[in-house]
A and B are shown apart, each in its own frame.
Chain A
Amino acid sequence: MNYYRQVLTVTLWEYRRFFKIKNEIIGIAIMLLVFGVSYLGGKYATSRSSEKPHLMVLKDLKPQLIEILSNDFIVELISGEEKEKLLLQIATQKEGMLLLQDGEGFVIHSWKKPKRLNALQENLKIYCQQEAMAKINLSTSDLEYVMRPADLREVYLYDAGTNDRSVLAFFFAGLMIMAVFLSFAYQFTAITGEKQLKITEQIISAIKPQAWMDGKILGITLTGLSSMLTYSIIGTLGGMLFFQFTGGSVSSILQYLHLPSILLFFMFTLMGVMMWNAFLAAIASMITDPNNSGKSGVMLLPLIFVFSSFLVMRDPDNGVSVFLSWFPLTSATAMPMRWVATELAWWEFAGSFVVLAATFYLLRKLAAKIFHVSVLISGKEPTWREVFKLARES
């Protein structure tokens, strides 16, 4: 049986073992449920606040201010005698708001900080501005003239980094984070779990460690990609629904589906997920008991690198960004992000991709060697030194 057929057999086994349509549907249903509950719950929570709250003021308050306050409050006028009674009521019944003028300023009395305090402040600000304008005889049109923005014409030589492509870059980065998370969980089950089930000796008597490891990496990558595809479709449908409900055209989603960008992002994401899978497989091969192993934490390392690539968006042309877009542990997300944010030569893509692919190639070789030697160290978990010494010797 040749290497490729063995790899295909292991790949399909791992894929069928971990990718289950039923589980995907359950996952999506739970996600939609959480989304629905959040949306409806949010709506419910804010529904009461859409009603205007009652605000008590003294009868002698200026009508101009009362008119402004009426935009956000139901203003109730009270006499000076009722003031003390109302303050007592606020203290005992824990409800009601009383606004009093204090010289040029104001005092608000309430049991606790009111939810509409910002609206109240905004209304008082408008009133104070109008008062100030009146004092210096400034008309509204004069004020608009003073506050007008400067006339700035925008002329850019590079305008490819549009928002829609940035959205796409972030979308792929998000998918990659998800795929790495899934890989983290699956590699534990696929490799460490098999070691605990003591299947490995039987397997390596039948198949070369490299074929077995490549099958694992590809099978779990395929599982991650399937989940990515599912969530991409859900994301696209969600986007269409969003435009539908916000009054936009459903076809607005098409502006985000820029094919060359999708191909570029997909290539880097695919290679990135494979590279991280090879890395995770190498670490998982060294772990005998995930609950007590000090090496388990190392498996979270990929997330640090994936997240650090977001730094590129701050300044895509500085030295750190250039390094991140070439460094193989960050380039899978950093290079596509640089591409949407600045102008890049074709050889930068090609070079970065080749470095990434070479890293994947070497990591999968290393993972197979580590697996081969660590599976034979029984009774204890191999140390880093032992593994690398044996891997070098093998």
Chain B
Amino acid sequence: MAQAKILEVSSLSKTFKNVQAVESISFSLEQGDIFAFLGPNGAGKTTTLRILLDIIKADSGTIKWNLAGNKSSFPPSSQIGYLPEERGLYTDQPIVRSLVYLASIRGMEPSKARISAMEWLERLDLADRAKEKLQALSKGNQQKIQFVASILHKPAFAILDEPFSGLDPLNQEKFIGYIKELNEQGTTILLSSHQMSLVEKIAHRVFLINQGKELFNGSLMDIYQNYGQQHILDISFACEVPLEKFRLLPNLENMSPVGAQQVKVTFRPGTELTEILGNLAGMDGISNIKSHNSSLHDIFLNIVKAHQQ
């Protein structure tokens, strides 16, 4: 059964001086989505997020919100959570006081905010440091507090700009768990990230943007079906890679040497693996072959490169 659309963006455009930051993009989010907004630096992601948050105005286009049955051009701040890419908190204030304040300005009762903040700090093993100033925490722990500050008031819709930035792999995994849990509790999530391997683990749908233009908008399954059916081979050699021979291979789309004795080759969609292996049989010195389909990272690079060309 189709979920209700809680955000519909149509033909959104924004120009700064002579730069077209966003060019007629459209997308929508349904209740319960985890929607990944992907694009290289300067693609227009943050501009779009700022427009959605009513921080800046679009030149044209429409945004329709329908959060918790409340149809309005912009929902109350109590229903929105925002983790900006540029992190910042009151470093000279006690942790719990900052968290309560930020939840309070989004409409949460201070007493409830305090209870909720302490619960989160317990989970993050920081409860005993609740009254310490934020500057006393490590950078990683400050990141965690920043994340908590954006969702403490239990928003119906959370916008997370680069939520994994600055986290070590262990904490990245923890954050994936927190985001999934938040989503399971009913929060719709729009996230922007460069860590494709992490996005793959949680996103339901992806929107790819480059130079302000929409390159792809659909489910994770769709993007793999449309762009991920290519064979990618990591081939190791006992001797130097014979690059000239590779250039002559039929259906070769891309070739990236990885050191002197390894190469990563991508074949055009529809190329059979048996055909590829047959062509490789004539090469001497192959010590190892690993075959896999395109990851989201590969797809992202391929689509963006193709668009830039």
Contacts and interface: CB of A to CB of B under 8 A. Distances in A.
Interface in B59-100: 76-78, 80, 82, 84, 86-91, 93
B87 A198 contact: yes
Interface stretch (B103-111, B208-216, B277-285): B103-111
Give the bracket for the number of chain B residues in contact with chain A: 20 to 34
A263 interface: no
Interface stretch (A169-177, A199-207, A254-262): A199-207
Given A1-B105, A6-B105, A202-B150, 9 more contacts: A1-B76, A1-B107, A194-B90, A198-B87, A198-B88, A199-B88, A201-B88, A202-B82, A204-B55
Contacts of B80: 205-206
A10 B90 contact: no
B198 interface: no
A174 B53 CA distance: 45
Contact of B102 (A1, A5, A206, A376): A206
Contacts of A198: 84, 86-88
A9 B100 CA distance: 11
Interface of B: 50, 53-56, 76-78, 80, 82, 84, 86-91, 93, 101-102, 104-107, 149-150
Interface in A158-207: 194, 197-207
A376 B149 contact: no
A9 B101 contact: yes
B24 to A, nearest CB: 22
28 contacts: A1-B77, A1-B78, A1-B106, A1-B107, A5-B107, A6-B105, A9-B101, A9-B105, A13-B101, A17-B93, A194-B88, A194-B90, A197-B88, A197-B90, A199-B88, A200-B88, A201-B55, A201-B84, A201-B86, A201-B88, A202-B150, A205-B77, A205-B80, A205-B84, A206-B80, A206-B82, A376-B55, A376-B56
Nearest to A375: B55
B158 to A, nearest CB: 11
Contacts of B150: 202
B113 to A, nearest CB: 11
Contacts of A202: 82, 84, 88, 102, 149-150
Contacts of B101: 9, 13
Contacts of B78: 1
Q: Interface residues of B: mostly helix, strand, loop or mixed?
A: loop
A207 B107 CA distance: 10
Given A6-B105, A202-B149, A207 B77 contact: yes
A200 B90 CA distance: 11
Contacts of A6: 105
The 8 closest A-B pairs by CB, nearest first: A198-B88, A1-B107, A199-B88, A205-B82, A206-B77, A201-B84, A205-B53, A198-B86
Interface string A197-221: 1111111111100000000000000
Q: Interface residues of A: mostly helix, strand, loop or mixed?
A: helix
A306 to B, nearest CB: 29
A342 to B, nearest CB: 48
B19 to A, nearest CB: 14
Nearest to A204: B55
A197 B93 CA distance: 12
A18 to B, nearest CB: 11
A198 B142 CA distance: 14
B105 A207 contact: yes
Given A197-B91, A376-B55, A203 B105 contact: yes
Nearest to B84: A201
B53 to A, nearest CB: 5
B243 to A, nearest CB: 42
Contacts of B82: 202, 205-206
Contacts of A9: 101, 104-105
Nearest to B150: A202
Nearest to B146: A202
B266 to A, nearest CB: 37
B68 to A, nearest CB: 15
B106 A199 contact: no
Nearest to A202: B84
B105 A199 contact: no
A205 B80 CA distance: 9
A4 to B, nearest CB: 13
A376 B84 CA distance: 13
Contact of B89 (A10, A197, A376): A197
